[in-house]
Chain A
Amino acid sequence: MTLSALNRKLLRDLWGMKGQALAIAMVVAAGVAMYVMYQSLFASLSGTRSAYYERQRFGHVFASLKRAPQRVATDIAAIPGVSAMETRVVSGVTLDLENLNEPAAAQLVSIPSDRRPRVNDLFLRSGRWIERNRPDEILASEGFVIANKLAPGDQVRAVINGRLRRLTIVGVALSPEYIYSIRPGELVPDEQRYGIFWMDEKALAAAFDMEGGFNDVTIALAPGASSEDVIARLDRILEPYGGRGAIPRALQLSHWTVENELSQLESFGFLLPLIFLTVASFILNVALTRALALQRPHIASLKALGYDNVAIGWHYLKWGFAIGMAGIAIGVGGGALLGTMIIDLYNVYFRFPELHFAVPLRVVVGAATLTFVAAAAGTFGAVVRAVRIPPAEAMRPEVPMRYRRTILETPLFSRYLGTAGRMVLRNIARHPFRAGASVFGISFAVAILMIGFVFTDATEHLIQTQFWEAERQDVTVNFVEPRGSAARYALARLPGVMAIEPQRTVAVRVRAAHRERYLAITGVPPSPRFKRIVDRNGEPVRLPPGGVVLSQMLAKALEISIGDVVTMEVLEGHRPTRRVEVTGLVDDLLGLSAYMDMEALHRLMQEGDVTTGALMLIDQAHEVELSTTLKETPTVAGTGFKRAVLKRFREVLAANLGLSIFINLLFASVIAFGVVYNAARISLSERSRELASLRVLGFTRAEISLILMGELALLTLVSLPVGGAFGYSLSAVIVGSIDSEVYRFPLYVSRQAVAWSFLGIIGAALVSGLIVRRQLDALDLVAVLKIRE
């Protein structure tokens, strides 16, 4: 295949402006990479998940209860719309792991030993299924096994219903129910300290005095069945047995978490690439307008030779498309690489039998389409303007540019401006669109960078609020069952315990009209020392004397406000139902909470001084001793040591935020560099004559650089506050989109975040400025001045 002469010209012209073409292609590539990365991650994650759900028959409705006899199962199976059902025994246990000082925990879930579960079947990674009549055999979750470096055949010690037992891991398993698993009450997964164990149904029932009964149900629905109807009927059936309210798949923790990730991928996967491509389209337009001004005589010659407008227009449109294509190639490769890095991170938090990163063809086609639209948009106007000029006029040099004094040049200000300052200002005023495009691009780079830092800040703020303002205790202890005051005194006597605050939480269903949520009411002592009600900004909130204080998010979900009355159905004890006035709302960070005066809660429960756990301040010197004791205390269901929790929290965030800040930094640099470099090259091309004149007049290189760089510096300077505002708004949008019933982020922008993002962009601008400065040094004075512009 031979290239036409015109196409050869295209290639050589592009080669002639290769630096600029590459800079624009890189901005295009950044947009394409983001699109490819987000969209492919979405496709990989959602595709893998659906296949996994399908294969392992993931349930649609989940319910837990206190205890129901096995015969109730028949009633459940008879609910219209139920296609399959499993009743189970599920319970939390404390583990005593040799490699850990503090106690770990596991969720024990029963499975049949003679067949596979009909709902939520397990994926057996290694080892074998449990065998009948071997009550100590378990399947352990893969994450736990890996984190603790265990293997089939190894044993774990667990405190089951007050008795220490050795459990033997016979197989490593994964479940669609626990793609994401987290210890109740914690913020980030910790697979070393929390695992899922599957155990023979009969053995588990025996251990928890559940023979002939169950405390958990999972249901798969027939196609087209309504989960709401099934849940309503199920709740009625389970109510006499201590039902805690069934939930649909959408509220199941693991599913919700994956779903949340997917929806974020979906929303960012479109918005951010779109902004990148808009910037690319702007700078392409600016670059091509200049390139075509230099091509005026060529256009005239082509016309004189008989090429028509369409042929010439298409020739120049191809410049834009060629740059776009380079961007697509680099972007698809880059996006695939970044996607692979992120999927590795996903594989740490999400446990799938296999989760691979793949770029679907339709994503590439989508990226290409978006890019070509952006390239055409950026190129078209410039090309039409250039091609429309009649040949005779195009042969003549372009009319000199008209300049005016700018409105900034008041007599007072002019004095400080100097000649160089005036040149800079007037040049910017002469090309407002170009200056605007540069400012938009650089601001966007500032914003991208800022988002990364804002999230680091938000996380620090969250840690500060949650771990130091809201929960000031060192250790949190939860009992297996609610206990009297004796348990508290027993804890107070443990080694290293300096102060103790009792905790009472009660599982309730809160209802307002037809809306309802399941949650735990926390009883607040008259003057709380450790656990305080704290809002999103870390400000403590006082509990009003009566009624209940709810999370603002809960009020939103229930569509109520202060002064309204909610119905609270207690899901334990005598299961009283009360109507309580909402006397306060707190805009808090985690979960859905409800707070009540401790005494009022006891009255509601018709109980005395009962606690479900305790918060303790300890002497760090006795920490090991204390945790060893707690590990062996049968009444303790779980313990949380703040130090360990916080350490883990920081590790997880460091990995997540580290990668995302790296990606943001990369993209922000690409865009800042691309925009500034492009602007600098165009200025240099247009003003080489002017700058050469100055050199001839005796200006030094440094002095003329200052004039060229002054313009870029001014544009960058203007972009910083614009970008700051842009970054703040984008962060607000993202923080808003993250707001969920599980967690909220505070929107908090520190001076450091602003300073670092500004410095990052100034750095990128400096680098591109210096590269152009080197080209300025190579300016051939004589040659430039001899040509008539």
Chain B
Amino acid sequence: MSTPLFQIRELTKVYRMGEVEVHALRQVTLMLDEGQFVVLLGPSGSGKSTLLNIIGGLDVPTAGQVLYRDIDLTQADEGQLTAYRRQHVGFVFQFYNLIPSLTAVENVALVTEISTNPMAPEDALGLVKLEARLDHFPAQMSGGEQQRVAIARAIAKRPSVLLCDEPTGALDISTGIVVLEALQRVNAELGTTTVVITHNAAIASMADRVVRLADGRVTAVENRTKKLSPQELVW
């Protein structure tokens, strides 16, 4: 077996919220393999977003180590983290975070303009089946469409890893399914390692691997062999 894409060891994160110390992560150890579709499952406050943010180079841990291939993210400075995000990571958030003043294709171009080996913005939007909405502004699109633009924007640079924080959290079931299909397609066709955070247990059925978190600890890791397609999910 090859080296995992991410090696996470003894990861601890303590926030200070005013006078209270919040232990978001308590010595989490986890390996994530290349090409996998991973679902991080857990209730609010379980530490899953903190874990995702640290993997994505948006946050730094209090203790422990995260290795991306042979890069130690825990030793990287601000500039190195920015470069890491720029070259290797794609993000998808619950609230899309598109630039309202740019059209769909321009939002994607935002990323391709600063990447070394991107796909054409039109192709990225084609992958999420938005060929017909290239020149629409965010305010002219539905939530599901906006989220698919966000996915296209995240994958256009051909990232090694796609990190999704509650990507269907703000969507209804049918729109959510279309978004999940887009994610699965990216994972299957581009082989992009995909990590999805959700508190919706149903989504776990489409994963290669399910990591359950509670109270800052990994409580269970399940490797699945039978993956369901998004249409087959039971909500």
Contact = CB atoms under 8 A, between A and B. Distances in A.
Contacts, number: 85
B167 to A, nearest CB: 13
A694 B99 contact: yes
B99 A693 contact: yes
Contacts of A701: 82
Interface in A604-626: none
A785 B100 contact: no
B114 A422 contact: no
A781 B59 CA distance: 9
B124 to A, nearest CB: 13
B53 A782 contact: yes
A697 B100 contact: no
Interface string B100-142: 1110001001110110000000000000000000000111100
Contacts of A788: 95, 170
A689 interface: yes
Interface stretch (B32-40, B83-91, B171-179, B180-188): B83-91
Interface in A406-428: 418-419, 422-423, 426-427
Nearest to B95: A788
A interface residue count range (under 10 / 10 to 19 / 20 to 34 / 35 or more): 20 to 34
B77 to A, nearest CB: 12
B95 A785 contact: yes
A517 interface: no
A426 B102 CA distance: 8
Nearest to A406: B101
Interface in A663-703: 689-690, 692-701, 703
B138 A698 contact: no
Contacts of B56: 696
B79 interface: yes
Contacts of A690: 97, 99-101
A419 B106 contact: yes
Given A427-B101, A785-B95, A700 B139 contact: no
A747 to B, nearest CB: 43
B97 A785 contact: yes
Contact of B101 (A422, A692, A697, A703): A422
Nearest to A707: B99
Nearest to A427: B101
Contacts of A290: none
Interface in A376-419: 399-404, 418-419
Given A697-B86, A698-B83, A426 B110 contact: no
A430 interface: yes
A753 B85 CA distance: 48
Contacts of A426: 101-102
Nearest to B91: A696
A420 to B, nearest CB: 9
A426 B106 CA distance: 13
B113 A697 contact: no
Contacts of A785: 93, 95, 97
Contact of B102 (A419, A430, A789): A419
A48 B39 CA distance: 85
A401 B139 contact: yes
Interface string A411-450: 0000000110011001100100000000000000000000
Contacts of A693: 97-99
Contacts of A781: 58
Interface string A116-131: 0000000000000000
B148 interface: no
Contacts of B95: 785, 787-789
Contacts of A695: 82
B153 interface: yes
Contacts of A399: 139
A134 to B, nearest CB: 89
Which of B86, B99, B114, B138 is the most central at the interface, judged by chain A CB atoms within 10 Å of its CB? B99
Nearest to B140: A402
Nearest to B90: A697
Which of A402, A689, A698 is the most central at the interface, judged by chain B CB atoms within 10 Å of its CB? A698
Interface in B57-85: 58-59, 79, 82-83, 85
A268 to B, nearest CB: 42
Contacts of B86: 697-699
B76 to A, nearest CB: 13
A431 to B, nearest CB: 11
A697 B137 contact: no
A419 B93 contact: no
Given A403-B101, A426-B101, A697 B91 contact: yes
A789 B100 CA distance: 12
B80 to A, nearest CB: 11
A696 B102 contact: no
Given A400-B138, A696-B85, A782-B53, A419 B110 contact: yes
A430 B170 CA distance: 27
Contacts of A703: 114
A594 B100 CA distance: 71
Interface string B14-30: 00000000000000000
A710 to B, nearest CB: 12
A690 B107 CA distance: 11
B79 to A, nearest CB: 7
A402 B87 contact: no
A491 to B, nearest CB: 79
A432 to B, nearest CB: 14
B139 A403 contact: yes
Contacts of A401: 100-101, 139
A788 B111 CA distance: 23
Nearest to A693: B97
Contact of B97 (A403, A689, A699): A689
A782 B99 contact: no
Contact of A400 (B59, B109, B139): B139
A782 B79 CA distance: 17
A787 B94 CA distance: 10
Contacts of B93: 785
A697 B139 contact: no
Contacts of A787: 95
Contacts of B114: 697-699, 703
A423 B103 CA distance: 10
A423 B87 contact: no
Nearest to B93: A785
A700 B137 CA distance: 24
Contacts of A403: 100-102, 137, 139
Contact of B59 (A419, A427, A698, A782): A782
B111 A697 contact: yes
B91 A422 contact: no
Contacts of B83: 698
Given A400-B138, A402-B139, A423 B79 contact: no
A100 to B, nearest CB: 70
Contacts of B91: 696-697
Contact of A402 (B49, B85, B98, B137): B137
A430 B91 CA distance: 28
A400 B96 CA distance: 12
B100 to A, nearest CB: 5
Which of A426, A701, A787, A789 is the most central at the interface, judged by chain B CB atoms within 10 Å of its CB? A426
A698 B160 CA distance: 14
A689 to B, nearest CB: 7
B101 A782 contact: no
B3 to A, nearest CB: 24
Which of B93, B100, B109 is the most central at the interface, judged by chain A CB atoms within 10 Å of its CB? B100
Contacts of A422: 101-102, 106
9 contacts: A400-B138, A402-B139, A423-B102, A690-B101, A695-B82, A697-B111, A701-B82, A782-B49, A788-B170
Interface of A: 399-404, 418-419, 422-423, 426-427, 430, 689-690, 692-701, 703, 781-782, 785-789
Which 4 pairs across A and B sit closest by C-beta, in order of nearness? A698-B86, A693-B97, A426-B101, A698-B85
Given A698-B85, A698-B111, A700-B79, 6 more contacts: A419-B106, A422-B102, A694-B110, A698-B89, A786-B94, A788-B95
